Amino acid sequence: MTTLAPDPALRLVLGSASPRRLDLLAQVGIVPHAIRPPEIDETPRTAEAPLDYVRRIAREKLAAVDAGADEIVLCADTTVALGRRILGKPADEAEAGRMLSLLSGRRHRVITAVAVRRAGLIWEKAVTTAVLVKPLSSGEIAAYLATGDWRGKAGSYAIQGPFGALIPWINGSFTGVVGLPLKETLGLLTAAGFTGGLR
């Protein structure tokens, strides 16, 4: 991986509207100079594998964010994968309920791809975490849906919210499941010469 010399003058642009990613960066002392969420089509391609999908979307987000010469851009994408099936953000409560029923009592993968751009160079990393959901009763699913926490969440849940009580086991990156694997993200930013935050 190419590593550039540290540049304290670099300003970070977060290419995401996710408050969770903003909060995660704040945990390690990073406050973006600007937030510029890109508008792209996030529809999976026919037969596209989940890992290929998140990598592609992270790169497309990165390409859609304008940045100046003194700016470094950070984008990410997270998906929930059940086998080769991509579980994206549910359109409504009914779809969220179907997704939760699919996840009930099963292991799945949460994949987050991170991409960083400085000038013409790009640094990328994808992190996969295995997650087990306990067997869910219809009452548990209904109670969770009533919280509204499923809205805007890949796979219809957020591990850091009330659904976390229904997840007995994970193997991998907790922050990756939330939406931004911090260890790997800091490594990419460091390679690109960004000096902000904890190291």
Q: Which residues are catalytic?
A: 77
28 forms bridges with which residues in the sheet? none
- Who contacts 115 (Cβ-Cβ below 8 Å, separation ≥6)? 58, 59, 61, 62, 74, 75, 76, 122, 123, 124
Question: Could you tell me if residue 182 is left (phi over 0), alpha (psi between -120 and 50 degrees) or otherwise beta?
Answer: alpha
